[in-house]
Structure 1
Amino acid sequence: MCSLASHLRRLAMALIILSSMVVSGCRPEPDNNLTLAVTVLHVDTSDPVADIDFELERRVLENGILNGNYQPVGSATSNAVGLANFYFKRVNALDYQLNLVSTDWFARSDFIQPDSFLESSKVDYTTEATPRGTVHIRLVNTYPLNEEDKVQFRTLNPTSDFLTCSNAWETHFGTEVDVERTCDLEADRYLSYRYHVTRNGELTENLDSIWVSRGELTELLIAY
């Protein structure tokens, strides 16, 4: 009889423990092998972009002290479907910095919080790539008349998150004008520009555009 009572008590205790586990849930140990799956899309078309180079860095807490310098985690290049994977170990990271460092594309840095890896050891992240081109602008007075000759020029570059060609007006006087400048801008699109020429008191206004390709130097010559 005592043996039966003891058995029932053990069974009841087991049921209580089992019920507690069902109610509270068993929290699994975090996976120390992390994956960051980066998908890169073209900023204009939203299509996946291949052959984009990335570098991943992080700042870590060491013995409760912040190491302020970013430490390299790894590098990866996007494949045909625009996917670049990083594989690394879990550490006490303060933050992650994902850097786009590919030639002919504007550099950018995205910040990823380590909390993103709490729910899952794999994080999917999407970023954008912006093509970069270079334009060489030259203004030349090829038909000089007198010192009253004047040219005014400006680009009509759309607002950008990157350092691109200034849209400010530039004005030049005289018979020997031959000025030039080179600047970067978002590529694979048309660059509109405007220029005004004043000669012998007559003003001529012009509006035009030129195609700028990624990774190429585009020559824009205004011979007036």
Structure 2
Amino acid sequence: MASDQPRIDFSGGAVGYRFRRSGERGHPLVRAAGIKRDHMPSIVDATAGLGRDAFLLASAGAMVTLIERSTEVHALLKDALARAAMESPELAEVVGRMTLVHGDARYLLPELKPDVVIVDPMHPPRRNTALVKKEMRQLSSIVGADEDAAELMRIALATARERVVLKWPLRAAPLLEAPKPSHQYAGKTVRYEVFVTALKPHVK
């Protein structure tokens, strides 16, 4: 029932357009993740979903591990990445920086210990375009609500070497009461809360 599944396409639509225009560098998520020309952190997208954030970060040059616990969504991502890799050498290069893993990030993060962890749980309902609402409705129907989002955040904060980035609705109440984010970057409808976790030099 393909009509009931979200469409994942890295070569077309807004994702492909941004890639062709090399518009990833100034994106607030790229800035929130700490990607710079002289610093390319290892990144785990702990809630891969439709894979767009991971593709954006990989387009900016980062090595990104995508963790998706839904078997159905994992299969959709695997197919989409394979199609993108065959589309062009440029897309194949980006896909080559993306590693897709099927599993629960809460259990995988302590083993991976990446520099940066991206957490994008299912958001509370918000008004947006019909296309986005349809895609998110389809994704939500597959994966359900992320009741353990706060637990995932705490594990991410304990394992990320440099920072955790929480993608959250622009005007929604904080997911965690504590700690407070170090700073944030605002998009049109979401904010990227940055929690710096880098240890001081004398701390092991």
* TM-score class, shorter: under 0.3
TM normalised by structure 2 equals 0.23
* Structure with bigger gyration radius: 1
Flag the structure with more relative contact order, 1 or 2, with Cα contacts below 8 A and sequence separation at least 6.
Answer: 2
- Structure (1/2) with the larger helix percentage: 2
TM-score after normalising by structure 1:
0.21
